Amino acid sequence: MVIGDGVLTPAISVLSAISGLRISDKTGSTNEKLSDGVVLLISCAILVGLFALQHYGTHKVAFLFAPIVVIWLISIFAIGLYNTIYWNPSILRAISPYYIVKFFRRTGKDGWISLGGVILSITGTEALFADLGHFTALSIRLAFAFVVYPCLVLQYMGQAAFLSKNPSAIQTSFYDSIPDPLFWPIFVIATLAAIVGSQAIITATFSIIKQCHSLGCFPRVKVVHTSSDIYGQIYIPEINWILMVLCLAITIGFHSTTLIGNAYGIACMAVMFITTWLMALVIVFVWQKSILLALVFLLFFWSIEGAYISASLTKFPQGGWVPIVLSVVVMLIMYVWHYGFCNKYNFDMQNKVSLRWLLDLGASLGIVRVPGIGLIYSELATGVPAIFSHFVTNLPAFHQVLVFVCVKSVPVPYVLQEERFLIGRVGPRSYRMYRCIIRYGYGDIRGDNCDFESQVIQSIAEFIQLEADDPECSSGSWSSDERMAVIGARAVQSSSSLMVIEQDESIAAMSTVSATIENLHSADEHDDEEIGMRRRVRFQVAERSGMDACVRDELMELIEAKEAGVAYIMGHSRIKARRSSSLLKKLGIDVGYSFLRKCCRGPAVALNIPHVSLVEVGMIYYV
């Protein structure tokens, strides 16, 4: 629903702000300043410009957002105060709850239906704090209680005072209630405020999509971090253009703030309704309070929200169906992707290679061990993936050092740097096979890690030394099934087992690859630059007294393999439903999931793997 809100908010905000260009003049004549078509064209132009500028990031103009919002709130406060004093000061009595009781007593069912429009008086305020994680709870409470709420109440009170004397101006009461000398300044600041509110909800949509993707609930998309200083400033090109197309379709298709408002009201009330339910779960499971307290909280707020959402649903035929359809489509995409993702992972778990099979191959793994390091990417955090046996079966050569890399997104916002890497060994020491699990929270930024290979090498070196120092694995950081140790990023940078001895060297001086491979590298300037950055770091075993000879030999072999080159090995899989599967499952897997996989970014691109060093292993999964 919030993603659907990202479509509706720009449409209704910009269209309602620009509608000031076609209001009637103050004398009450019907001479309109601009036609509806021109207003619609201007609104669409502003929306296209808004979405087209997203790739620059909001940090370049974000310093203007707070002043715009503050000026906007002060402006509506002043106009509301003026209208209240000038037109009907007795409107202040409307604060009394007596009048809402009298209103419902006189209007009955019509008063209940009107709640679907009343809810629009508070929608949009959530856009002020769309990125709530960037503010403290106290600052949000103070801003709403002492700034936002008084300004809104006084503005609507002023409009009510104006309408009590000018009932014919109900369609354009806001702009009609503005004094003539202030019309254009208020129009400009209203348009800017609409853009700021739209920008906030667009950014929030990007954040939600990114977090869903991190948790395996959304297809892979390109996430661009537009600011190196401001945390969380991201841009997703695919989502941006989809939002723009949908937003323009809503604006052109409805071309009326009333119809868009019907859809907007249902979206906002559904978000509030579901959020209240989730808050009740937080009370029970996070705060560890009694279920009775959560039930009282739920019933109290649902009794209020239920009246509003039931009234909003009466507008379903008049545009209210839009957020429902958008939510169903987005939820269907998320469900199909998550279903296929989980089935693929379960297939990997059921078909992973047993350690006995690995031991039967012997130290040579039954093949020729060539110089270099092979980074084998897999979703498995334990065991050997099926792509490894498939690769070994079809190719009679493999790297002298193998590292099974698993990138995991854990359901917490951020993972501490000290807990980022989890390193272990696969098989006996002579096999030179390791496991590296890299953990990210759904809010963590995964930038282009130019020193990723160096971090992995240093982490493995720290694990080798740690394993030698504590052969019984009695430390609390070891796991029970495999000997795993937490190696923090800070520990990697201050590694005592390996020393960085040389930097800023050219590829030609360091790489042992042939001239042919170097020519292939130079064919792509961008990839060549990335590889150069990755291979500019060389290591040397630190001089430590009492270092075991086996440990030193293993570290030396690790360094030799690093200087020989690094290859990234990934599975290039196709997923199909079994013939015995139901028709619904075949549609979901063979049609839905396959279509999403073709449309989304490949895993190698999502993980920033250099193309010239990538080896893909083709496999078919039957789930």
Cα-based distances in Å from 289 to 137, 301, 486: 20, 18, 34
Q: Helices 257-281 and 109-118, interaxial angle, to 10°?
A: 90
Q: CB neighbours of 361 closer than 8 A, spacing ≥ 6?
A: 392
Assess contact for 81 and 273: CB atoms under 8 A: no
Strand, coil or helix: 410: strand
DSSP SS3 for 75 = helix
End-to-end CA gap in the chain: 31
- Give pLDDT tens digits for 572-600: 888 888 888 889 888 989 999 989 988 88
Q: What is the pLDDT of residues 525-569, one digit of tens each?
A: 444 444 444 445 566 666 665 567 888 888 888 888 888 888 888
DSSP state at residue 600: S
Cα separation, 456 vs 373, in Å, equals 11
Residue 473: how many other CB atoms lie within 10 Å: 14
CB atoms within 10 A of CB 623: 19
pLDDT at residue number 499: 56
HEC secondary structure over 17-43:
HHHHHHCCCCCCCCCCCCCHHHHHHHH
| Cα(235)–Cα(479) distance, integer angstroms | 38
Positive or negative: CA dihedral 345, 350, 351, 354: positive
pTM value? 0.76
Which residues in the chain show pLDDT less than 50? 24, 26-31, 473-481, 495, 504-518, 520-521, 523-535
What is the rounded distance in angstroms from the CA atom of residue 242 to the CA atom of residue 263?
A: 19
Tell me, what's the pLDDT at 574? 84
C-alpha span between 155 and 159 (Å, rounded): 6
CA distance 521 to 519: 5
Give me the percent of the chain exceeding a pLDDT of 90.
23
Tokens of 617: 């292993």
The C-alpha atoms of residue 591 and residue 573 are separated, in whole angstroms, by 15
Q: How far is CA 267 from the centre of its chain?
A: 20
Query: Measuring CA to CA, which residue among 457, 445, 443 is closest to residue 487?
Result: 457
* pLDDT at residue 366, rounded to an integer: 57
**Cα(306)–Cα(51) distance, integer angstroms:** 35
Instruction: Quote the CA–CA distance of 180 and 520 in Å, as a whole number.
Output: 69
Q: For residue 12, give every residue at least 6 positions away whose Cβ sits within 8 Å of its Cβ, in sequence order, or none.
A: 257, 260, 261, 264
Instruction: Please tell me the predicted confidence (pLDDT) of residue 505.
Output: 44
- What is the reported pLDDT for 240? 93
Are residues 14 and 47 in contact, defined by beta-carbon separation less than 8 angstroms? yes
- pLDDT, position 330: 93
